[in-house]
Amino acid sequence: MNFKRLRYNPKTMNSKFLRNTLFALLIFGYIYYCQRYIAATSFIIEGKTYYVLFDDAMISMRYAYNLAHGLGPVWNAGEHVEGFTNPLWVGLMALVHLLPIGLNETSLVIQIIGASLLTFNLLLVKGIIEHFTDDLFAMLAAVALTAFYAPLNSYGLLGMEVSLLALMLSAVIWLILKNDKQFSVSIYILLAISTLVRFDMAVPYIVILAVLFFVQKENRNQHLIWGLGLLVLSLGGQTLARYLYYGALLPNTYYLKVEGWPLTLRLLRGLYALIHFAYYSNWMLFLLPFTIFLFRRDWKVTLLALVFIGQVAYSVYVGGDAWENHGGANRYIVIAMPLFFVVFSWSAVELLKKAASNLFAQGGVLAAGDGGGSDRHKGNLFEISWRVVFVVLFTFSLLNFNALIGEWKSIERWNFTRRPDYVAGSDRNLQIALAIENVTEPGASVAVIGAGTIPYLLPDRYAIDILGKADPYIAHQNVRTPMSIADVPFMRPGHMKWDYAYTFGQLKPDVIVSIWEGTDAEAAPYLKKDYVQAVIGEKIKVYLLKDSPNVIWENVVIK
């Protein structure tokens, strides 16, 4: 064998055919991963397959079900409370409910839609990074890190609007880069639509508008007219519609998460969540993308950085999310993670190239003239060496970013040797919903902590949300979590308000599925007075209203 012919050739490595082939293989690999994920999050009960989304997504699904069945976007018929923040996503879900399929399969359609959106997002990630560098390794790394990032898949493949928002944000960035300094109204149209998917997309909207206004001096009037105009129209239009239909200026969930929570403690909780995220992402890897400013300082790089920083700042402002204990980027930050991975991969390549170049120079292999065959051979060795280091760094980073709280269990969930994140809760809620259906009459009232799966699968039962997502009375109260700095790590936005005197004492639901953790003593007087604990299924215990005519008593076992 002639080893002299086995040389690294960058032109061959960057050929269009090779790039497209490897990218296509990544796409097919991701599609297969999505299929495995959806299968791993489904359940077979008595020969029937059920598909269940993330519980918050199932809240939107109940609104969508009622909308599709002529009751309007409501959680309970006749009650106008906006317990969601994603109107266009609810509208899409409503269209799915027009299909001739059962409630056990509607979530599958949403999961397929999420998988499709996340797959299209990978095309945009490829386009974004190729605007900055033609390095094959950087492109493949950015796409792979995005494709197989556990939080993005958990939210996107379990029915959250994250899949659509990540795609829209990437599309906006791609349009900006494609048009360079030319004004494009399509950017603002897409951003305006994104605020209808979730109104807090106003944050990246404002960041992008500010950057473009600053750098495109000749188009500032157009940015003001179209940018501000469409922002006001989109936010103002949905606010007016919300007020006319729901009688409130903001979604009920906003009041639930923000009102009655001191700003200082909320910011501390947000900072804690950020530090928790950065720490388990590995500080060095978390900060690595910002080293790109050592190699390139222009408005395009600044735009990507500011969009990511804007999402981080917004996450801090709202106190983070309720599931920070699961690790990884939360729902606010995760939509910008594709941009993070683009700059991460690009900056890693630039750093390693720079390091290899310095070593090459210091090794004395730069000689006058053409350098000779020996110099070219040594140059190839340095090139191959830093490529090997990059592959090692990529592999480590892929595992590191998916070891969400520093536990190998996260990797096991990620590679399906253990059930994916959030699935155990979905399984439990599904079992409870089917059991309640068996022991109650239509019209029975059911009080829940998890306001998604159980109410959705019981559309003809009246649902009561103990934690107030669909209850303005609870949402407008002060938070009940102890108010001290020491309690900051235990605060969970959207899960810190309840009132058992109102929910149990006044509303008296026929079924109480569970009470909030750590509140047994507070709930005890109401449970002891009006309720009995009963077994309604295997390892399923609930509280039933004494002598309720809506309970099928022969189907329960009183504890």
Same domain, 225 and 78: yes
What pLDDT, on a 0 to 100 scale, did the predictor assign at position 430? 96
Does residue 365 carry a pLDDT above 80?
A: no
Helix extents (H) in 318-422 = 337-362, 372-402, 408-414
**pLDDT classification of 376: cutoffs 50, 70, 90:** low
Same domain, 313 and 457: no
Same domain, 342 and 437: no
**pLDDT classification of 369: cutoffs 50, 70, 90:** very low
| pLDDT tens profile 194-252 | 999 999 999 999 999 999 999 999 999 999 999 999 999 999 999 999 999 999 999 99
Which residue, of 309, 329, 347, is where some domain finishes?
347
Same domain, 156 and 217: yes
Q: For residue 36, report the phi and psi dihedrals to the nearest 5 degrees.
A: -65, -40
Please name the residue that has the structure tokens 């003239």. Answer: 369
Q: Using an 8 Å Cβ cutoff, are 359 and 382 in contact?
A: yes
What pLDDT, on a 0 to 100 scale, did the predictor assign at position 364? 54
Q: Which domain holds residue 451?
A: 423-465+499-558
Q: For residue 2, report the phi and psi dihedrals to the nearest 5 degrees.
A: -95, 100
Q: 94-101 long-range contacts, Cβ below 8 Å, gap at least 24?
A: 94/64, 94/65, 94/67, 94/68, 95/68, 96/64, 97/64, 97/65, 97/67, 97/68, 97/69, 98/68
- The CB-side HSE value for 18 (13 A sphere, CA atoms) comes to 13
220 lies in some domain: yes
Same domain, 321 and 392: no
| pLDDT tens profile 276-319 | 999 999 999 999 999 999 988 899 999 999 999 999 999 999 99
Q: 78-83 long-range contacts, Cβ below 8 Å, gap at least 24?
A: 79/470, 80/245, 80/246, 80/247, 81/246, 81/252, 81/470, 81/471, 81/472, 82/242, 82/245, 82/246, 82/248, 82/251, 82/252, 82/253, 83/59, 83/251, 83/252, 83/253, 83/451, 83/465, 83/469, 83/470
Indicate the average pLDDT of the chain. Answer: 92
Rounded mean pLDDT, 472-490: 86
Task: Report the predicted TM-score, pTM, of the whole model to 2 decimal places.
Answer: 0.93
What pLDDT, on a 0 to 100 scale, did the predictor assign at position 319? 94
Which residue, of 347, 381, 398, is where some domain finishes?
347
Rounded mean pLDDT, 325-350: 96
Residues 6+ apart with CB under 8 A from 229: none
What pLDDT, on a 0 to 100 scale, did the predictor assign at position 320? 94
416 lies in some domain: no
Same domain, 254 and 368: no
289 lies in some domain: yes
490 lies in some domain: no
Domain count, the chain: 3
Dihedral over alpha carbons 408, 412, 418, 420 (to 10 degrees): 100
**pLDDT classification of 559: cutoffs 50, 70, 90:** confident
Rounded mean pLDDT, 97-104: 96
125 lies in some domain: yes
Rounded mean pLDDT, 340-365: 84
| pLDDT tens profile 352-363 | 998 887 777 666
Same domain, 191 and 52: yes
Same domain, 227 and 80: yes
Same domain, 312 and 436: no
Which residue, of 308, 326, 347, is where some domain finishes?
347
Same domain, 280 and 192: yes
What pLDDT, on a 0 to 100 scale, did the predictor assign at position 406? 84
What pLDDT, on a 0 to 100 scale, did the predictor assign at position 511? 97
* Tokens, residue 13: 């490595």
471 lies in some domain: no
Same domain, 272 and 252: yes
What pLDDT, on a 0 to 100 scale, did the predictor assign at position 1? 39
| pLDDT tens profile 519-533 | 999 999 999 999 999
* Tokens, residue 307: 């969009």
Does residue 104 carry a pLDDT above 60?
A: yes
| pLDDT tens profile 413-431 | 999 999 999 999 999 999 9
56 lies in some domain: yes
Angle at 280 between CA 274 and CA 283, to 5 degrees: 80
Rounded mean pLDDT, 506-522: 94
Same domain, 70 and 127: yes
What pLDDT, on a 0 to 100 scale, did the predictor assign at position 3? 36
250 lies in some domain: yes
